[in-house]
Amino acid sequence: MGKFLKWLDGSEQQDPLLKAAIAHLWFVTIHPFQDGNGRIGRAIAEMCLARSDGSAQRFYSMSSQILEEREGYYDVLEKTQAGSLDITEWLTWFLGCLDPSHQAIESNLRQCFGKELFWQDLKKRNLSPNDRQKKVLNKLFRRVRRKTNQRQVDEITKTSSRTALRDIEELIAAGVIEQEEAGGRSTSYRLNRAAKVRGAGLVDRRSFGYIAKSA
């Protein structure tokens, strides 16, 4: 650990991305603790990447990507630790995770910016959803399929079915949400497509650059 920490904090010239990959591998191979080595190893890699970025603002997470691809992570880790001192395959795998991690955060940022534009659009139209309706709209943004039904609205708002139905009808009348074609017990609601176009559809790559500079 003494040698590892001296190297980690050293100022010798080395590619910062490769250093992040090597630091993680070296630490989890030493495995100094009974538990938590993986979490600390990921934190060390994130620290090295933060240093390489030279910026206090970071929008991507290598840790999340490693967890997302944990099966491949354990496979390449086992091969590297059980083989020779050649870590080329490990470096290739680690660096290969960077691009998906950037794509994942771009998708998340796109959703966040789209949601913000959605609320701004409601404000411009002088629409003021009540607290219950805001909970429903926020839930719709978080759902993968972006739809809900009255029973779920009841659960989200913790109110009576009559009140929940009135809230839904008000949102439909305002053009914020719309009812899907299927009716009866399977009746469900989704964000109005026109509202989504005014919101999430307005986000483009220039928004990311503007927000990053503003931050």
Provide the CATH topology of domain 107-202: Arc Repressor Mutant, subunit A (1.10.10)
Per CATH, 2-96 and 107-202 having the same topology is answered no
Q: Which pTM does this prediction carry? A: 0.53
Burial 19-28 (b: 16+ CB within 10 A, else e): bbbbbbbbbb
Q: Six-digit token pair at 113?
A: 């910016």
For the chain, give the percent of residues with pLDDT over 90.
25
What pLDDT score was predicted for residue 55?
A: 65
Q: Which of 167, 163, 185 is nearest to 176 (CA)?
A: 167
Q: Which secondary structure element, helix H or strand E, spans residue 84, and what is its range? A: none
Q: What would the CATH number be for the domain defined by 2-96?
A: 1.10.3290.10
66: CB partners within 8 A, 6+ apart: 42, 45, 73, 97
Q: Say if residues 175 and 168 touch (Cβ distance below 8 Å).
A: no
Can you give the residue ranges of every domain in the chain? 2-96, 107-202
- Confidence category of residue 27, pLDDT binned at 50, 70, 90: very high
For the chain, give the percent of residues with pLDDT over 70.
76
41-91 tens-digit pLDDT: 999 998 888 887 766 666 667 777 788 888 999 999 999 999 788 999 999
Q: Which of 144, 205, 132 is nearest to 169 (CA)?
A: 132
